[in-house]
Structure 1
Protein backbone atom coordinates (compact mmCIF):
# COMPACT_ATOMS: atom_id res chain seq x y z
CA UNK A 1 0.00 0.00 0.00
CA UNK A 2 1.13 3.56 -0.64
CA UNK A 3 1.06 6.24 2.08
CA UNK A 4 -2.45 7.42 1.30
CA UNK A 5 -3.82 3.87 1.35
CA UNK A 6 -2.01 3.15 4.63
CA UNK A 7 -3.43 6.26 6.23
CA UNK A 8 -6.95 5.44 5.09
CA UNK A 9 -6.64 1.89 6.41
CA UNK A 10 -5.24 2.98 9.77
CA UNK A 11 -7.94 5.65 10.10
CA UNK A 12 -10.56 2.94 9.59
CA UNK A 13 -8.98 0.99 12.46
CA UNK A 14 -8.98 4.17 14.55
CA UNK A 15 -12.71 4.64 13.91
CA UNK A 16 -13.73 1.02 14.58
CA UNK A 17 -16.35 0.83 17.33
CA UNK A 18 -15.52 -0.49 20.78
CA UNK A 19 -18.00 -1.77 23.36
CA UNK A 20 -17.69 -3.15 26.86
CA UNK A 21 -14.06 -4.15 27.46
CA UNK A 22 -13.77 -6.55 24.57
CA UNK A 23 -10.66 -6.61 22.37
CA UNK A 24 -11.78 -9.58 20.27
CA UNK A 25 -11.66 -7.41 17.14
CA UNK A 26 -7.84 -7.61 17.18
CA UNK A 27 -7.64 -11.24 18.30
CA UNK A 28 -4.54 -12.86 16.80
CA UNK A 29 -3.04 -9.47 15.99
CA UNK A 30 -1.62 -8.84 19.46
CA UNK A 31 -0.54 -10.92 22.41
CA UNK A 32 0.60 -10.63 26.02
CA UNK A 33 1.86 -13.07 28.60
CA UNK A 34 -0.47 -14.50 31.21
CA UNK A 35 -0.20 -13.09 34.71
CA UNK A 36 1.20 -15.32 37.47
CA UNK A 37 -2.09 -14.99 39.37
CA UNK A 38 -5.67 -15.73 38.31
CA UNK A 39 -7.84 -12.80 39.34
CA UNK A 40 -11.11 -14.69 38.92
CA UNK A 41 -9.97 -17.64 41.01
CA UNK A 42 -8.73 -15.30 43.74
CA UNK A 43 -12.08 -13.52 43.88
CA UNK A 44 -13.94 -16.83 44.12
CA UNK A 45 -11.64 -17.96 46.94
CA UNK A 46 -12.91 -15.13 49.15
CA UNK A 47 -16.47 -14.71 47.82
CA UNK A 48 -19.39 -16.23 49.75
CA UNK A 49 -22.93 -16.62 48.40
CA UNK A 50 -24.29 -14.42 51.18
CA UNK A 51 -21.96 -11.48 50.48
CA UNK A 52 -23.15 -8.17 49.13
CA UNK A 53 -20.74 -7.69 46.23
CA UNK A 54 -19.67 -4.61 44.28
CA UNK A 55 -17.71 -4.71 41.03
CA UNK A 56 -16.11 -1.33 40.39
CA UNK A 57 -15.62 -0.35 36.76
CA UNK A 58 -17.45 -3.38 35.43
CA UNK A 59 -17.03 -2.45 31.76
CA UNK A 60 -19.79 -4.25 29.93
CA UNK A 61 -20.40 -6.64 32.82
CA UNK A 62 -18.46 -9.44 31.18
CA UNK A 63 -16.52 -10.54 34.25
CA UNK A 64 -19.19 -10.15 36.92
CA UNK A 65 -21.49 -12.56 35.09
CA UNK A 66 -18.82 -15.28 35.16
CA UNK A 67 -18.96 -15.32 38.98
CA UNK A 68 -22.60 -16.48 39.04
CA UNK A 69 -23.11 -14.54 42.27
CA UNK A 70 -26.75 -14.04 43.36
CA UNK A 71 -27.94 -11.12 41.25
CA UNK A 72 -29.92 -9.44 44.03
CA UNK A 73 -26.71 -9.22 46.08
CA UNK A 74 -24.63 -7.83 43.20
CA UNK A 75 -23.96 -4.19 42.29
CA UNK A 76 -21.71 -2.66 39.65
CA UNK A 77 -20.36 0.79 38.88
CA UNK A 78 -19.26 2.15 35.53
CA UNK A 79 -18.27 5.59 34.31
CA UNK A 80 -18.11 5.24 30.52
CA UNK A 81 -21.58 6.20 29.18
CA UNK A 82 -21.79 3.58 26.38
CA UNK A 83 -20.93 0.87 28.91
CA UNK A 84 -23.44 2.23 31.41
CA UNK A 85 -26.12 1.90 28.74
CA UNK A 86 -24.95 -1.62 27.92
CA UNK A 87 -25.03 -2.64 31.61
CA UNK A 88 -28.50 -1.24 32.13
CA UNK A 89 -29.70 -3.28 29.15
CA UNK A 90 -27.84 -6.47 30.06
CA UNK A 91 -27.51 -6.52 33.87
CA UNK A 92 -30.47 -4.64 35.31
CA UNK A 93 -33.08 -7.08 33.92
CA UNK A 94 -31.29 -9.83 35.87
CA UNK A 95 -31.63 -7.90 39.13
CA UNK A 96 -28.08 -6.49 39.31
CA UNK A 97 -27.87 -2.91 40.57
CA UNK A 98 -26.12 -0.62 38.05
CA UNK A 99 -24.79 2.79 39.10
CA UNK A 100 -23.02 5.35 36.96
CA UNK A 101 -20.10 7.04 38.71
CA UNK A 102 -18.44 10.35 37.93
CA UNK A 103 -15.83 10.75 40.68
CA UNK A 104 -13.81 8.15 42.59
CA UNK A 105 -14.45 9.83 45.93
CA UNK A 106 -18.24 10.00 45.51
CA UNK A 107 -19.67 6.50 45.16
CA UNK A 108 -23.49 6.29 45.28
CA UNK A 109 -23.75 3.85 48.19
CA UNK A 110 -24.29 4.12 51.94
CA UNK A 111 -21.61 3.40 54.53
CA UNK A 112 -20.90 -0.25 55.34
CA UNK A 113 -22.91 -1.59 52.39
CA UNK A 114 -20.69 -4.32 50.97
CA UNK A 115 -18.98 -7.46 52.22
CA UNK A 116 -16.64 -7.51 49.23
CA UNK A 117 -15.55 -4.96 46.64
CA UNK A 118 -13.68 -6.10 43.55
CA UNK A 119 -11.95 -3.87 41.07
CA UNK A 120 -10.16 -4.88 37.90
CA UNK A 121 -8.32 -2.00 36.25
CA UNK A 122 -10.56 0.74 37.65
CA UNK A 123 -9.29 3.79 39.53
CA UNK A 124 -10.36 4.06 43.14
CA UNK A 125 -10.17 6.22 46.25
CA UNK A 126 -9.02 4.23 49.29
CA UNK A 127 -11.05 6.32 51.72
CA UNK A 128 -14.25 5.88 49.72
CA UNK A 129 -13.72 2.13 49.35
CA UNK A 130 -13.30 1.94 53.12
CA UNK A 131 -16.46 3.98 53.70
CA UNK A 132 -18.79 1.65 51.77
CA UNK A 133 -17.12 -1.61 52.83
CA UNK A 134 -18.21 -3.40 56.01
CA UNK A 135 -15.73 -4.11 58.79
CA UNK A 136 -13.69 -7.22 57.95
CA UNK A 137 -14.86 -6.90 54.34
CA UNK A 138 -12.48 -7.63 51.48
CA UNK A 139 -11.15 -5.37 48.74
CA UNK A 140 -9.53 -7.22 45.85
CA UNK A 141 -8.05 -5.25 43.00
CA UNK A 142 -5.89 -5.91 39.97
CA UNK A 143 -4.46 -2.66 38.66
CA UNK A 144 -2.70 -1.44 35.56
CA UNK A 145 0.42 0.22 36.92
CA UNK A 146 1.59 3.70 36.06
CA UNK A 147 4.45 2.40 33.90
CA UNK A 148 2.13 0.34 31.69
CA UNK A 149 2.95 0.54 27.96
CA UNK A 150 5.35 3.39 28.71
CA UNK A 151 7.77 2.26 26.02
CA UNK A 152 5.02 2.07 23.36
CA UNK A 153 3.57 5.41 24.43
CA UNK A 154 7.00 7.01 24.29
CA UNK A 155 7.55 5.58 20.83
CA UNK A 156 4.21 6.71 19.47
CA UNK A 157 3.48 10.03 21.24
CA UNK A 158 5.92 12.91 20.86
CA UNK A 159 7.11 14.36 24.19
CA UNK A 160 5.08 11.75 26.06
CA UNK A 161 4.55 12.29 29.78
CA UNK A 162 3.01 9.45 31.84
CA UNK A 163 -0.37 10.34 33.29
CA UNK A 164 -0.12 8.36 36.55
CA UNK A 165 3.56 7.94 37.51
CA UNK A 166 2.71 7.46 41.22
CA UNK A 167 0.30 4.60 40.54
CA UNK A 168 2.51 1.85 41.97
CA UNK A 169 2.01 -1.10 44.27
CA UNK A 170 3.74 0.46 47.25
CA UNK A 171 1.85 3.75 47.02
CA UNK A 172 -1.50 1.95 46.86
CA UNK A 173 -0.54 -0.32 49.75
CA UNK A 174 0.27 2.73 51.85
CA UNK A 175 -2.98 4.47 50.95
CA UNK A 176 -5.05 1.43 51.93
CA UNK A 177 -3.19 1.01 55.21
CA UNK A 178 -3.80 4.68 55.97
CA UNK A 179 -7.54 4.08 55.64
CA UNK A 180 -7.84 1.09 57.90
CA UNK A 181 -6.90 -1.87 55.71
CA UNK A 182 -4.64 -4.80 56.39
CA UNK A 183 -2.78 -6.04 53.29
CA UNK A 184 -3.29 -9.80 52.96
CA UNK A 185 -1.45 -10.27 49.67
CA UNK A 186 0.30 -8.14 47.07
CA UNK A 187 2.17 -8.85 43.85
CA UNK A 188 3.66 -6.73 41.06
CA UNK A 189 4.93 -7.78 37.65
CA UNK A 190 6.21 -6.46 34.31
CA UNK A 191 5.48 -8.59 31.24
CA UNK A 192 5.86 -8.13 27.46
CA UNK A 193 3.07 -7.19 25.08
CA UNK A 194 3.32 -7.68 21.30
CA UNK A 195 1.54 -6.11 18.33
CA UNK A 196 1.86 -7.82 14.96
CA UNK A 197 0.45 -5.06 12.76
CA UNK A 198 0.11 -1.30 13.06
CA UNK A 199 -3.67 -1.37 12.64
CA UNK A 200 -4.02 -3.36 15.87
CA UNK A 201 -1.82 -0.85 17.70
CA UNK A 202 -3.88 2.04 16.31
CA UNK A 203 -7.10 0.43 17.55
CA UNK A 204 -5.53 -0.18 20.97
CA UNK A 205 -4.04 3.32 21.28
CA UNK A 206 -7.32 5.02 20.43
CA UNK A 207 -9.12 3.07 23.17
CA UNK A 208 -6.43 3.44 25.86
CA UNK A 209 -6.44 7.20 25.47
CA UNK A 210 -4.94 7.88 28.91
CA UNK A 211 -1.78 6.01 27.88
CA UNK A 212 -1.67 7.57 24.41
CA UNK A 213 -2.92 11.13 25.05
CA UNK A 214 -3.87 13.11 21.98
CA UNK A 215 -3.31 10.16 19.66
CA UNK A 216 -4.66 10.20 16.15
CA UNK A 217 -3.49 8.65 12.91
CA UNK A 218 -3.30 12.08 11.27
CA UNK A 219 -1.16 13.55 14.05
CA UNK A 220 1.26 10.64 14.43
CA UNK A 221 1.28 9.14 10.97
CA UNK A 222 5.07 9.46 10.60
CA UNK A 223 5.64 7.63 13.90
CA UNK A 224 3.26 4.89 12.80
CA UNK A 225 5.21 4.49 9.57
CA UNK A 226 8.44 4.05 11.55
CA UNK A 227 6.77 1.43 13.72
CA UNK A 228 5.54 -0.34 10.58
CA UNK A 229 9.14 -0.60 9.39
CA UNK A 230 10.08 -2.33 12.64
CA UNK A 231 7.15 -4.73 12.38
CA UNK A 232 7.99 -5.49 8.75
CA UNK A 233 11.53 -6.36 9.85
CA UNK A 234 10.91 -8.24 13.12
CA UNK A 235 7.29 -9.31 12.77
CA UNK A 236 6.15 -7.39 15.84
CA UNK A 237 6.65 -4.39 18.07
CA UNK A 238 7.13 -5.10 21.77
CA UNK A 239 6.05 -3.11 24.81
CA UNK A 240 5.88 -3.68 28.56
CA UNK A 241 2.80 -4.31 30.68
CA UNK A 242 2.79 -3.23 34.35
CA UNK A 243 0.32 -4.98 36.67
CA UNK A 244 -0.17 -5.33 40.39
CA UNK A 245 -2.55 -7.21 42.65
CA UNK A 246 -3.78 -6.23 46.10
CA UNK A 247 -5.95 -8.20 48.53
CA UNK A 248 -6.88 -6.14 51.57
CA UNK A 249 -9.25 -6.52 54.53
CA UNK A 250 -10.88 -3.64 56.37
CA UNK A 251 -10.01 -3.69 60.07
Structure 2
Protein backbone atom coordinates (compact mmCIF):
# COMPACT_ATOMS: atom_id res chain seq x y z
CA UNK A 1 0.00 0.00 0.00
CA UNK A 2 1.31 3.44 -0.92
CA UNK A 3 1.20 6.55 1.20
CA UNK A 4 -2.03 8.47 1.64
CA UNK A 5 -0.92 11.20 -0.78
CA UNK A 6 0.25 8.69 -3.41
CA UNK A 7 -2.98 6.72 -3.31
CA UNK A 8 -5.21 9.80 -3.43
CA UNK A 9 -3.25 11.22 -6.37
CA UNK A 10 -3.51 7.91 -8.21
CA UNK A 11 -7.28 7.67 -7.70
CA UNK A 12 -7.71 11.29 -8.79
CA UNK A 13 -5.80 10.76 -12.04
CA UNK A 14 -7.74 7.80 -13.48
CA UNK A 15 -9.78 8.77 -16.59
CA UNK A 16 -13.56 8.65 -16.11
CA UNK A 17 -14.72 7.92 -19.67
CA UNK A 18 -16.72 4.77 -20.27
CA UNK A 19 -18.28 2.44 -17.73
CA UNK A 20 -15.48 -0.09 -17.41
CA UNK A 21 -14.57 -0.92 -13.81
CA UNK A 22 -11.56 -3.14 -14.57
CA UNK A 23 -9.22 -0.58 -12.94
CA UNK A 24 -10.60 -1.65 -9.54
CA UNK A 25 -9.30 -5.21 -9.89
CA UNK A 26 -7.38 -6.05 -6.72
CA UNK A 27 -8.35 -2.71 -5.15
CA UNK A 28 -12.09 -3.10 -4.62
CA UNK A 29 -14.73 -5.79 -5.02
CA UNK A 30 -18.49 -5.80 -5.40
CA UNK A 31 -20.55 -8.95 -5.11
CA UNK A 32 -22.44 -9.72 -8.31
CA UNK A 33 -26.26 -9.97 -8.36
CA UNK A 34 -27.47 -13.57 -8.61
CA UNK A 35 -29.31 -13.19 -11.92
CA UNK A 36 -26.38 -12.41 -14.30
CA UNK A 37 -27.65 -9.33 -16.13
CA UNK A 38 -25.21 -9.45 -19.07
CA UNK A 39 -26.20 -13.01 -19.90
CA UNK A 40 -29.89 -12.25 -19.60
CA UNK A 41 -29.78 -9.30 -21.98
CA UNK A 42 -27.59 -11.22 -24.41
CA UNK A 43 -30.27 -13.89 -24.77
CA UNK A 44 -32.98 -11.25 -25.21
CA UNK A 45 -30.99 -9.22 -27.76
CA UNK A 46 -30.51 -12.35 -29.86
CA UNK A 47 -34.28 -12.94 -29.97
CA UNK A 48 -35.56 -9.52 -31.18
CA UNK A 49 -35.31 -7.46 -34.35
CA UNK A 50 -34.93 -4.06 -32.65
CA UNK A 51 -33.56 -2.87 -29.31
CA UNK A 52 -32.67 0.35 -27.50
CA UNK A 53 -30.06 0.64 -24.73
CA UNK A 54 -30.79 3.69 -22.56
CA UNK A 55 -27.94 5.52 -20.80
CA UNK A 56 -25.47 3.02 -22.20
CA UNK A 57 -22.33 4.53 -20.66
CA UNK A 58 -19.55 3.33 -22.92
CA UNK A 59 -21.75 0.60 -24.40
CA UNK A 60 -19.51 -2.10 -22.96
CA UNK A 61 -22.19 -4.35 -21.47
CA UNK A 62 -24.43 -4.40 -24.53
CA UNK A 63 -21.46 -4.80 -26.87
CA UNK A 64 -20.46 -7.94 -24.95
CA UNK A 65 -23.51 -9.77 -26.37
CA UNK A 66 -22.51 -12.19 -29.11
CA UNK A 67 -25.53 -11.29 -31.29
CA UNK A 68 -27.13 -7.85 -31.68
CA UNK A 69 -30.47 -7.27 -33.42
CA UNK A 70 -30.57 -5.72 -36.91
CA UNK A 71 -31.64 -2.42 -35.33
CA UNK A 72 -29.51 -1.72 -32.24
CA UNK A 73 -29.67 1.84 -30.94
CA UNK A 74 -28.40 3.44 -27.74
CA UNK A 75 -28.57 6.76 -25.92
CA UNK A 76 -25.98 8.46 -23.70
CA UNK A 77 -26.06 11.97 -22.24
CA UNK A 78 -22.39 12.52 -21.33
CA UNK A 79 -20.34 13.37 -24.46
CA UNK A 80 -17.13 11.52 -23.44
CA UNK A 81 -19.14 8.35 -22.80
CA UNK A 82 -21.11 8.80 -26.01
CA UNK A 83 -17.81 8.91 -27.91
CA UNK A 84 -16.67 5.65 -26.31
CA UNK A 85 -20.06 4.02 -26.93
CA UNK A 86 -20.00 4.98 -30.60
CA UNK A 87 -16.93 2.77 -30.97
CA UNK A 88 -18.71 -0.18 -29.36
CA UNK A 89 -22.25 0.03 -30.77
CA UNK A 90 -23.62 0.72 -34.26
CA UNK A 91 -25.94 3.66 -33.46
CA UNK A 92 -25.46 5.97 -30.46
CA UNK A 93 -27.49 9.15 -30.01
CA UNK A 94 -26.65 11.80 -27.44
CA UNK A 95 -29.89 12.41 -25.53
CA UNK A 96 -30.90 13.60 -22.04
CA UNK A 97 -31.32 10.89 -19.41
CA UNK A 98 -34.87 11.94 -18.52
CA UNK A 99 -36.10 12.21 -22.10
CA UNK A 100 -37.59 12.92 -24.49
CA UNK A 101 -36.20 10.01 -26.48
CA UNK A 102 -35.39 10.88 -30.12
CA UNK A 103 -37.25 7.91 -31.60
CA UNK A 104 -40.69 7.35 -33.09
CA UNK A 105 -43.41 5.67 -31.05
CA UNK A 106 -43.57 1.86 -31.18
CA UNK A 107 -40.03 1.56 -32.57
CA UNK A 108 -38.47 -1.17 -30.42
CA UNK A 109 -39.19 -4.74 -29.36
CA UNK A 110 -36.85 -4.38 -26.38
CA UNK A 111 -35.58 -1.49 -24.27
CA UNK A 112 -32.75 -2.19 -21.81
CA UNK A 113 -30.78 -0.13 -19.31
CA UNK A 114 -28.13 -0.97 -16.75
CA UNK A 115 -27.95 1.36 -13.75
CA UNK A 116 -29.88 4.27 -15.30
CA UNK A 117 -29.59 7.64 -13.56
CA UNK A 118 -33.32 8.09 -14.05
CA UNK A 119 -35.93 5.88 -15.72
CA UNK A 120 -38.16 7.78 -18.18
CA UNK A 121 -41.04 5.33 -17.86
CA UNK A 122 -43.53 7.16 -20.08
CA UNK A 123 -41.00 7.54 -22.87
CA UNK A 124 -40.10 3.85 -22.55
CA UNK A 125 -43.76 2.95 -22.86
CA UNK A 126 -44.06 5.20 -25.91
CA UNK A 127 -41.12 3.77 -27.89
CA UNK A 128 -41.91 0.12 -27.10
CA UNK A 129 -43.97 -1.81 -29.61
CA UNK A 130 -47.11 -3.54 -28.27
CA UNK A 131 -45.90 -6.70 -26.57
CA UNK A 132 -42.41 -5.22 -26.21
CA UNK A 133 -40.38 -5.43 -23.01
CA UNK A 134 -38.32 -3.16 -20.81
CA UNK A 135 -35.55 -5.08 -19.03
CA UNK A 136 -33.25 -3.29 -16.58
CA UNK A 137 -30.82 -3.74 -13.70
CA UNK A 138 -31.16 -0.75 -11.41
CA UNK A 139 -29.44 0.73 -8.38
CA UNK A 140 -31.69 0.35 -5.36
CA UNK A 141 -32.48 2.60 -2.42
CA UNK A 142 -29.67 3.13 0.09
CA UNK A 143 -26.95 1.69 -2.09
CA UNK A 144 -23.50 2.26 -0.58
CA UNK A 145 -25.10 4.35 2.16
CA UNK A 146 -22.33 3.23 4.52
CA UNK A 147 -19.77 4.96 2.29
CA UNK A 148 -21.97 8.05 1.95
CA UNK A 149 -22.41 8.27 5.71
CA UNK A 150 -18.68 7.81 6.37
CA UNK A 151 -17.85 10.70 4.08
CA UNK A 152 -20.77 13.05 4.82
CA UNK A 153 -22.20 11.99 8.17
CA UNK A 154 -25.58 10.21 8.51
CA UNK A 155 -27.84 10.90 5.53
CA UNK A 156 -31.53 10.05 5.05
CA UNK A 157 -32.22 7.20 2.64
CA UNK A 158 -34.54 8.21 -0.17
CA UNK A 159 -37.06 5.70 -1.50
CA UNK A 160 -36.90 7.31 -4.95
CA UNK A 161 -34.94 4.24 -6.10
CA UNK A 162 -37.10 1.75 -4.21
CA UNK A 163 -38.72 -1.23 -5.89
CA UNK A 164 -42.26 -0.15 -5.05
CA UNK A 165 -41.61 3.27 -6.60
CA UNK A 166 -40.43 1.51 -9.76
CA UNK A 167 -43.55 -0.66 -9.84
CA UNK A 168 -45.87 2.31 -9.39
CA UNK A 169 -44.18 4.37 -12.11
CA UNK A 170 -44.09 1.47 -14.56
CA UNK A 171 -47.78 0.80 -14.06
CA UNK A 172 -48.60 4.50 -14.36
CA UNK A 173 -46.89 4.43 -17.76
CA UNK A 174 -49.19 1.59 -18.85
CA UNK A 175 -46.67 -1.23 -18.43
CA UNK A 176 -47.25 -4.60 -16.75
CA UNK A 177 -44.49 -5.52 -14.28
CA UNK A 178 -43.48 -9.15 -14.83
CA UNK A 179 -40.45 -9.35 -12.56
CA UNK A 180 -39.12 -7.22 -9.72
CA UNK A 181 -36.25 -8.81 -7.81
CA UNK A 182 -33.99 -7.05 -5.26
CA UNK A 183 -30.53 -8.03 -4.00
CA UNK A 184 -28.15 -6.73 -1.29
CA UNK A 185 -24.47 -7.03 -2.24
CA UNK A 186 -21.21 -6.76 -0.29
CA UNK A 187 -18.78 -4.02 -1.42
CA UNK A 188 -15.20 -3.72 -0.15
CA UNK A 189 -12.52 -1.11 -0.83
CA UNK A 190 -8.88 -2.06 -0.16
CA UNK A 191 -7.21 1.35 -0.50
CA UNK A 192 -8.23 4.99 -0.39
CA UNK A 193 -7.25 5.51 -4.04
CA UNK A 194 -10.03 3.12 -5.05
CA UNK A 195 -12.45 5.14 -2.91
CA UNK A 196 -11.37 8.38 -4.62
CA UNK A 197 -11.83 6.96 -8.11
CA UNK A 198 -15.19 5.43 -7.19
CA UNK A 199 -16.52 8.71 -5.78
CA UNK A 200 -15.36 10.60 -8.89
CA UNK A 201 -17.01 8.03 -11.18
CA UNK A 202 -20.24 7.27 -9.27
CA UNK A 203 -21.15 10.89 -8.59
CA UNK A 204 -24.37 10.38 -6.67
CA UNK A 205 -22.64 8.53 -3.81
CA UNK A 206 -21.23 11.79 -2.40
CA UNK A 207 -22.75 14.68 -4.37
CA UNK A 208 -20.22 17.40 -5.10
CA UNK A 209 -17.27 15.23 -4.10
CA UNK A 210 -13.78 16.67 -4.58
CA UNK A 211 -10.51 15.45 -3.13
CA UNK A 212 -9.75 18.79 -1.49
CA UNK A 213 -13.26 19.18 -0.10
CA UNK A 214 -13.14 15.74 1.56
CA UNK A 215 -9.42 15.39 2.32
CA UNK A 216 -9.98 14.98 6.07
CA UNK A 217 -12.54 12.20 5.57
CA UNK A 218 -10.32 10.55 2.97
CA UNK A 219 -7.48 10.52 5.49
CA UNK A 220 -9.84 8.93 8.03
CA UNK A 221 -10.78 6.36 5.37
CA UNK A 222 -7.09 5.64 4.74
CA UNK A 223 -6.52 5.01 8.45
CA UNK A 224 -9.63 2.81 8.66
CA UNK A 225 -8.39 0.63 5.80
CA UNK A 226 -4.89 0.43 7.29
CA UNK A 227 -6.40 -0.81 10.54
CA UNK A 228 -9.08 -3.16 9.19
CA UNK A 229 -7.69 -4.14 5.78
CA UNK A 230 -10.80 -2.92 3.96
CA UNK A 231 -13.81 -0.65 4.09
CA UNK A 232 -17.07 -2.58 3.70
CA UNK A 233 -20.50 -1.30 2.76
CA UNK A 234 -23.59 -2.67 0.99
CA UNK A 235 -24.90 -1.89 -2.46
CA UNK A 236 -28.44 -2.70 -3.54
CA UNK A 237 -29.67 -3.70 -6.99
CA UNK A 238 -32.95 -4.79 -8.45
CA UNK A 239 -33.97 -6.40 -11.69
CA UNK A 240 -37.15 -5.14 -13.31
CA UNK A 241 -38.94 -6.53 -16.34
CA UNK A 242 -42.07 -4.80 -17.64
CA UNK A 243 -44.15 -5.44 -20.75
CA UNK A 244 -46.25 -3.13 -22.91
CA UNK A 245 -49.67 -4.75 -23.43
Aligned to 1:176: 170
Q: Distance in 1 between matches of 2:226 and 2:29?
A: 17
Deviation of 1:192 (Å): 1.3
Aligned to 2:27: 29
Deviation of 1:159 (Å): 6.4
Instruction: Compute the TM-score of the two structures, normalised by the length of structure 2.
Output: 0.91
Deviation of 1:150 (Å): 0.9
Report whether the alignment pairs 1:150 with 2:145.
yes
Deviation of 1:24 (Å): 1.5
SS in 1 for 2:177: strand
SS in 2 for 1:142: strand
Gap runs ≥5 in structure 1: none
Q: Distance in 1 between matches of 2:194 and 2:97?
A: 31
Aligned to 1:52: 50
Aligned to 1:221: 215
CA-to-aligned-CA distance 1:50-104 (integer Å, 9 cap, x gap) = 420111111111112222334641001111110112223443xxxx221111241
Aligned to 1:208: 202
Q: Distance in 2 between matches of 1:192 and 1:45?
A: 27
Gap runs ≥5 in structure 2: none
Deviation of 1:145 (Å): 1.3
CA RMSD of aligned residues (A): 2.1
Contact preservation (8 Å) 2:52, 2:108 = yes
Aligned to 2:190: 196
Report whether the alignment pairs 1:112 with 2:112.
no
Q: Distance in 1 between matches of 2:69 and 2:36?
A: 23
Give the direction of change, closer, same or farther, for the CA distance of 1:60–1:79 in structure 2 (3 Å limit). same
Instruction: Compute the TM-score of the two structures, normalised by the length of structure 1.
Output: 0.89
Give the direction of change, closer, same or farther, for the CA distance of 1:103–1:40 in structure 2 (3 Å limit). closer
Q: Distance in 2 between matches of 1:206 and 1:100?
A: 22
SS in 1 for 2:197: helix
Q: Distance in 2 between matches of 1:103 and 1:49?
A: 26
